[in-house]
Structure 1
Amino acid sequence: MKYRMLLLPLVLAACAQTPEVTAPAPSATTAAANPASSTGTELLTRYHWQLSNAIDSNGNHIDALFARPDKPVQLDFSPYRITVVNSCNSMGAGYTVRKGHLQIGPMVSTMMACHDAALAALDDAISQRVRGSVDVNLLARDNAPSLQLVTDNGDTLSFTGVPTAETRYGGPGQIAFLEVAPQSVPCNHPLTPDAQCLLVRERFFDEQGLASGTPGPWQPLNQNIEGYTHTPGIRNVVRVKRFTIKNPPADGPSVTYVLDLVVESEKVGQ
């Protein structure tokens, strides 16, 4: 039994439209950053902004925004686009920042059916608030920056910043595609002789999302792909960001892989 999910043309288009953040990370400070400045905008792009609190104009907690306690609503910013993560559907829009205001363009969303009523309500609750013109306050702190959005009807959404991989590893990663075999294999690392590793090979695609070139050789990956959970019996092609580790330990890898997107999935029957 097989099923396949192919997203490569869209994925490659997204690669071309979303530039990497390459400027050095700003130093942490306890002063508020002006989001209209280059420093404020860079700070937005350097963190995943996870919703930590939301209250309406009467001070009541907005429960509908917390339908997934284990996966809080998250805002990700590229230099030109805002993306809503951990709702039922994927949502995104263009944005600009000017004089303390975040101007959000029309929200584009996937049309996946949300069978869970709470998730369907979450989609509606976040799209109703992350739109149009909202007041934005950005506070850079030594431990974790915070972002506050205030809508025109007085709702206040508070977010905590979690460093992106680019921030943690000090620069942009290299985009690569890895095919992950359905079953893991014994690792070939002398320090983990009894461990199981993913079996992977590198894949290559042209601008139309069609396979090109010759895939690399199959080999055990003696490390994890950050953010990826493997299900036995499922073959995946994943888009990853590959980062160089500065001053790696003597017995550790010199690069690390961070999951960007699962672009192809196939269940391989017995």
Structure 2
Amino acid sequence: MKIHLLLLPFALAACSPLPDAGSPVRSSMNSPDATAGAASTTGSGVLGQYHWQLKDAFDSKGMRIDALFVGAEEPVQLDFTADRLIVINSCNNMSASFSVKKGQLQLGPMMSTSMACPDAARAALDDAIAQRLRGSLGVNLLTRDNTPRMQLVTETGDMLTFTGVPTAETRFGGPGETGFLEVAAQTVPCKNPLIPDKKCLLVRERHFDEQGLPSGTPGEWRPLDQDIEGYSHTPGIRNVLRVKRYSVKNPPADGPSVAYVLDLVIESQQVGN
């Protein structure tokens, strides 16, 4: 039996509400093919409403920056909280403080963990990102074919174009409620008139104190007749998940009124071996 505890002390610390950091960034995001420089602010504003996935990157001579494209399945992604830019799908965990002033994205020093990556290209990705996400960058927001885009221009003239994917908060119209679900190692049969022999996740509620330690009594096991967005179950692996719950407005007659979105896997255990 193998047990892995992942960032458990951090599990509740990251749930604290973010402070109001200023006015939102203004842009013509609702106008087709419109571009706008960001207004002066220290808040994430419209930037925080999307996951920004890298689509194109060219240097000042028009050459594609291949070092920034390691895996097509997991493109470099930027997420903006109230006061930090977080880099997703790099080798190490990377983040920097930021503010937006007069159409410029001002970045503080890039902080990074020191994990070694066995894949040389992914290990080099961290440096390629850090070289470009620093100092002052021009930032423009635009929409094309109803898809939001963000363009960042570095001090050396590199241009990085990102496609915006709405966050869960944007899609469901609110911040959601944080909770914890334990997912049993094996799925169970559950009734569904449209899907014969359907299998469902078996889950129960879990509780943790301010130090991230288990507290209280777990809830009763129950089949969950819906997906947890972002979670892929592996038979034989028991997981404890930090999830966000969102109310679904006007759900279909046969659909759930609550959506679950994976926030973090905090515990993983192999069962039966």
User: What is the TM-score when the length of structure 1 is the normalising length?
Assistant: 0.92
CA distance in 2, matches of 1:152, 1:115: 31
Matching of residue 28 in structure 1 with residue 30 in structure 2? yes
* Change over 3 Å in CA distance of 1:117–1:27 after alignment to 2: closer
**Counterpart contact for 1:81–1:92, Cα < 8 Å:** yes
Letter in 2 for 1:28: N
Q: 3-state SS of the aligned residue for 1:122?
A: helix
**Counterpart contact for 2:29–2:148, Cα < 8 Å:** no
Q: 3-state SS of the aligned residue for 1:183?
A: coil
Size of the aligned set, in residue pairs, is 268
Q: Among 66, 83, 104, which residue is 1:63 paired with?
A: 66
Matching of residue 211 in structure 1 with residue 214 in structure 2? yes
CA distance in 1, matches of 2:10, 2:116: 20
**Counterpart contact for 1:35–1:41, Cα < 8 Å:** no
Deviation at 1:222, TM superposition (A): 0.3
**Runs of 5+ unmatched residues, structure 2:** none
Give the match for residue 11 of structure 1. Answer: 11
CA distance in 2, matches of 1:225, 1:19: 28
Give the match for residue 257 of structure 1. Answer: 260
Q: 3-state SS of the aligned residue for 1:158?
A: strand
Deviation at 1:262, TM superposition (A): 1.0
Letter in 2 for 1:11: A
Give the match for residue 203 of structure 2. Answer: 200
CA distance in 1, matches of 2:209, 2:17: 15
Give the match for residue 94 of structure 2. Answer: 91
Q: 3-state SS of the aligned residue for 1:246?
A: coil
Q: Deviations over 1:205-237 (max 9, x none)?
A: 111101111111111110000111011111111
Q: 3-state SS of the aligned residue for 1:123?
A: helix
Deviation at 1:240, TM superposition (A): 1.0
Q: 3-state SS of the aligned residue for 2:253?
A: coil
Deviation at 1:34, TM superposition (A): 3.4
* Change over 3 Å in CA distance of 1:27–1:88 after alignment to 2: closer
CA distance in 1, matches of 2:143, 2:82: 18
Matching of residue 132 in structure 1 with residue 126 in structure 2? no
Q: CA RMSD in A?
A: 2.3
Identity %: 65
Q: Among 235, 239, 242, which residue is 1:239 paired with?
A: 242
Give the match for residue 49 of structure 1. Answer: 52
* Change over 3 Å in CA distance of 1:27–1:99 after alignment to 2: closer
Deviation at 1:269, TM superposition (A): 3.3
**Runs of 5+ unmatched residues, structure 1:** none
**Counterpart contact for 1:20–1:172, Cα < 8 Å:** no
Q: 3-state SS of the aligned residue for 1:15?
A: coil
Q: 3-state SS of the aligned residue for 2:2?
A: coil
Counterparts in 2 of 1:180-199, with a 5 A limit?
A: 180-199=183-202
Larger mean Cα displacement after TM superposition, 122-131 or 216-225: 122-131
Q: Deviations over 1:224-255 (max 9, x none)?
A: 00111011111111111111111111121111
CA distance in 2, matches of 1:187, 1:123: 45
Q: Deviations over 1:163-214 (max 9, x none)?
A: 1111111111111111111111112445445111111111111111011111
Q: 3-state SS of the aligned residue for 1:211?
A: coil
CA distance in 2, matches of 1:268, 1:108: 36
CA distance in 1, matches of 2:179, 2:144: 33
* Change over 3 Å in CA distance of 1:264–1:18 after alignment to 2: farther
CA distance in 1, matches of 2:84, 2:137: 15
**Counterpart contact for 2:3–2:267, Cα < 8 Å:** no
**Counterpart contact for 2:68–2:125, Cα < 8 Å:** yes
* Change over 3 Å in CA distance of 1:132–1:269 after alignment to 2: farther
CA distance in 1, matches of 2:11, 2:113: 14
Deviation at 1:32, TM superposition (A): 2.5
Give the match for residue 119 of structure 2. Answer: 116
* Change over 3 Å in CA distance of 1:222–1:261 after alignment to 2: same
